[in-house]
Structure 1
């Protein structure tokens, strides 16, 4: 897999000659369902050939945004532009986008070849050209040998590759993917990640990929768009969002599962949290007396003998090489931690962390 590009412009990629256009702009995108606002003014520019992941929890608006881009949902306000041309009033089939659904959406009575070629038939592409393009798409997803089978004769991973072939065979400027791997088991998801990125590189189309899985977003995307409550919270390269989330909710979604309420005691970095005194790096920009939230990843909050936060273990599970669990601090805050050995539920533990591996946010902004 290629290295990720900068947050503003995908580097080192040239668009495939098969991809016509593909710079997508969302300008003030709004979508309401009665009194409920699902999208509240989305602004985003996606460059030609870029792979963008829309990431966020259920209900954040990511699938609504994808369906608006596809034309499956009308806008309440704003514009969608493709290469500078407004397209938001066009019917879905006139936008020319390829779409891959979570459910595969294959025709069960059609062979794999006919499923893949369906869009070309609807476009009236001559038979000889259509056959050649279907063969090329099946070769790309490594399913030419399965061309005469029915979807029910293939595995889930193979069916998803058929769905991808059907989406790309029409040579779309933009490919839209709505949680395409969520129905697959863990091993197949890992394999399909590599497949999807390789196909993206091969065809050069712009790709917008919806997921709630941060690992998928980190491994696939050039840029990640984190959404919450119908708005964009942060946009950046995977490594930027992983290491430097700008908001507490973004940090939570990028793996900083534990938030510890604390109060700053002095400018040297001493804070009070759950009845214990801790020292954080000074000059974090929080005045003495201010309420803060300390965000830390489970792997960085470690159970041990060193002086730290007293806690009571609530649950523990083995994940290979280490134990991970949850515990309650003295003030009732639920935290997630790592341990080198097994601990019993109800056992007392001392949890410590490297202050350099934490993030600090104002309590009201966390």
Structure 2
């Protein structure tokens, strides 16, 4: 990456300040999209809001940006409320999923638009635009129109436009969803590198767990307008605290069962015709209803019949191994890894790798952070 933006300026009064969401609520008629969100973000953090469509993550971002008014709660920067301020007065940078570039303006004018709206012109504006274009590696494309650029280049223009105003907070709403897989990987690395160089706080909305895990300092997992868990990528990947969080962290198999034994932080569950031991963070007792949760790569087909009986429904090759899906006798879906292809309809058994299964108490409700 190129050199960071020049530091020759008066610091923004919001730069280096903590951003706080306090009891954030947003309703659309009878539908509550955000139901009391509390979140404190430190200066310079990269925060990912992660969750499925409709969980409230984009609504939260738009409320922070000022594009949606709150129906309850407060947004504070450095202890001062900003939720009554108009979007342009908050001074935040925004990167949209659709790029939102002006098609009749060349790259340079697109990047400089926010500066002109703030009355920054002349040599200072040119210096900032040059630095922003250099940072996103688009100096050679400065005179092209957006329609002459690739999708990845257009997204870089959108990022340059957001950071050229030197915002204390950069808001990104699923900025990579329109790009192909290769470009997404490249842009993930670029966005994190840009974040590290400019020093602004970044709040990044995504439904892609790989994006969140690879870029964020902390991940906020949301579901139905609530925060389910907040933690580092390692925390959430290894120690999800709720079955819904586990599902979003790749634990695709969820099989209901009943606890047969417990010991410290582990439990044994009888599920789909087999007994399996897994780790748990819940208080469980023999006889409790529970859910066995495992990632596909950690649920392995075994030939000795010692695991969960399954009928194969699909099988695909992914380079180093085969991955399949199947049905248990009770109709549960599961996803597993195999060393060789198994035909559809074949009967086999699968067992979690040692220490890789999680067990959750069934019918848990509410949020946790």
Which residue is 1:323 aligned to? 322
Instruction: Report the counterpart of residue 24 of structure 2 in structure 1.
Output: 29
Give the counterpart of 2:248 among 245, 249, 253. Answer: 253
- Give the whole-Å Cα distance in 2 for the aligned partners of 1:194 and 1:92: 28
SS of corresponding position for 2:187:
helix
Tell me by how many angstroms 1:354 deviates: 2.6
Contact 2:19 2:43 in 1 (8 A): yes
Q: TM-score, normalised by structure 2?
A: 0.92
Q: Distance in 2 between matches of 1:340 and 1:197?
A: 36
The equivalent residue for 1:136 is 131
Superimposed CA distance per residue, residues 67-110 of structure 1 (whole angstroms, 9 cap, x where no aligned partner)? 00000000000000111111101111111110000111111110
Quote the Cα distance in structure 1 between the aligned partners of 2:224 and 2:278: 31
Cα separation, partners in 2 of 1:150 and 1:360, compared to 1, 3 Å = same
In 1, Cα distance between the equivalents of 2:190 and 2:261?
Answer: 52
Q: 1:280 to 1:101 in 2, by over 3 A?
A: closer
Partner in structure 2 of residue 274 of structure 1: 272
Secondary structure (helix, strand or coil) at the match of 1:345 reads coil
What SS is found at the alignment partner of 1:256?
coil
Q: Secondary structure at 2:355's aligned position in 1?
A: helix
Report whether the alignment pairs 1:62 with 2:60.
Answer: no
Structure 1 gaps of 5+ residues are 2-15
In angstroms, what is the RMSD of aligned CA positions? 1.8
- Cα offset for 1:272? 1.8
For residue 116 of structure 1, give the secondary structure of its aligned residue in structure 2. Answer: helix
SS at match of 1:356: coil
Structure 1 residue 282, shift from structure 2 partner: 9.7
1:230 paired to 2:256: no
Q: Which moved more, 1:273-282 or 1:91-100?
A: 273-282
Checking the alignment, whether the CA contact within 8 Å between 1:256 and 1:295 is kept in structure 2 is yes
Take 2:258 and 2:205, find their aligned partners in 1: how far apart are those partners? Answer: 37
Answer whether contact 1:51 1:222 (CA < 8 A) is retained: yes
Question: What residue in structure 2 maps to residue 40 of structure 1?
Answer: 35
Q: Which runs of 5+ in 2 are unaligned?
A: 2-6
Query: Once structures 1 and 2 are overlaid, which stretch shifts more, 177-186 or 317-326?
Result: 317-326
- Residues 95 and 231 of structure 1: is their aligned pair in 2 closer, same or farther, counting only changes over 3 Å? same
Deviations 1:22-64 (A, max 9, x none): 4211000000000000000000011111100000000000000
Instruction: Look up the match of 1:7.
Output: none
CA apart distance, 1:266: 3.5
Paired residues of 2:282 and 2:361 also in contact (CA < 8 A):
no
For the Cα contact (< 8 Å) 2:253–2:293, is it kept in 1?
yes
